[in-house]
Amino acid sequence: QQPVQSPQAVILREGEDAVINCSSSKALYSVHWYRQKHGEAPVFLMILLKGGEQKGHEKISASFNEKKQQSSLYLTASQLSYSGTYFCGTAEKTSYDKVIFGPGTSLSVIP
């Protein structure tokens, strides 16, 4: 079942912070985060495998709340290069090798 992402779109000024949420109605084995810049292929950011786990990538980090079946991606002190569409992908505990992607969150960072 496709995860839900919120917000659908967000506009930030450089230096501002943002949070993107991803939630599922199913028990999750893992959550994956990808970023896709305009006209390019999605690129892997990070994966979270355990409930409560937090990972970091530059100034981008994420958390995974297994009980709530949701994950959040945190972008701090945003840079122009962070603009793009962010996808979460979820793998359910009953089919952990199959990742289903959410509809994406469009993030625009302006000067």
Is residue 4 involved in binding other proteins (CB under 8 A)? no
Report the candidate in 106, 107, 98 with the shortest Cα–Cα distance to residue 2: 98
Nearer to other proteins, 83 or 106 (CB): 106
Q: How far is CA 39 from the centre of its chain?
A: 19
**At which residue do the structure tokens 């972008």 appear?**
75
41 is a contact residue toward other proteins (CB under 8 A): yes
Stretch that binds other proteins, among 10-18, 20-28, 56-64, 92-100 (CB under 8 A): 92-100
40 binds other proteins (CB under 8 A): yes
Query: Pseudo-torsion of CA 17, 37, 10, 63, nearest 10°?
Result: -50
d(CA 60, CA 75): 5
Answer whether 50's CB lies under 8 Å from 65's CB.
no
Of positions 21, 61, 63, 101, contacts other proteins by CB under 8 A: 101
80 touches other proteins by CB under 8 A:
no
Q: Which residues bind other proteins (CB under 8 A)?
A: 2, 30, 32, 34, 40-44, 47, 49, 87, 89, 97-104
